Structure 1
Amino acid sequence: MSKIFKNIAVAIITPTHTKKSFDVGLELAKKIGSDLTIIECMYKIQPKLYFFETKSDKKVAQQQISKLKAELEKWKKIAKEQGINVKTKFALTDSISHWVIDYVKVNKIDLLIVDYPKLSMVEMSMYDDIINTIHHESHCHLLTTKP
């Protein structure tokens, strides 16, 4: 019998997220012996000067990258403690939905798990659009977790 989901990815796409999607992905990967990838995406902060990146812009981008890497290391450590090897990937991007869709297609992800925490009305509208775009264009199963 073949595995239902050979490749599971957990996408962290909101700045305020919970650990729920990671926990679900970890448990599923453990139970069915799937590969697990944790991807974290954040909008790249645009440069103050439209065509030129200043030193402070580069510093802000480096801080974003450091934050993403630290959080991914935390997820990786938790997974290793439970005997699961995970791959991690991060992106600073102008379009979270298109980056995730491309990642899912290229890496043949069977199940994408996305965290959907409580958000403000403005954030909710934006992340609804991201999740809907991913749902319609990624061609894989999509599971959203709520707190």
Structure 2
Amino acid sequence: MIAGEIQGAYQIKVTTSALALLLNSKHSELEKTRVQGHLIKSATGITTRSKAKSTPDQWVMLPLPTKIVALLADALTEIQEQVLAGEDEDSDWEEVQTDVIDNDKEFLSSVSALGKPSYEHLEAMAKVFNEDQDDQYEDDLLYVADPLNQ
């Protein structure tokens, strides 16, 4: 995870933009860098506080680009859920749902076996960020001063 939870539309936008730019750089060192993936669950049953102290958490180690794609995919999914939740229930729900499923299938099928992200992922995420922009930051000084919002 990126130093805890990132909250707020602006912070999420800045963080995901930075991650996408980092990933798009295709720097050779990114693939060499290993980061924590997901927590490996213990098969020993219930973990007490004393047992947790004696056995540290174990994590799956992933290449950094794989983790970045996973974080961006999570952000994309969350944004899509927010967009769907904000739409009127009487709208063409089935059509929207089908589009989301098709987009998810395209996203998953375009990821190579080695976990190397493609440019299409970044374009899809950028498209979602640019859709349905609301004017809630018009009066915010950061909004006016930051080139990400122009």
With normalisation by structure 1, the TM-score equals 0.32
Higher helix share: 2
Q: Which has the larger radius of gyration?
A: 2
Q: TM-score, normalised by structure 2?
A: 0.31
More strand by proportion, 1 or 2? 1
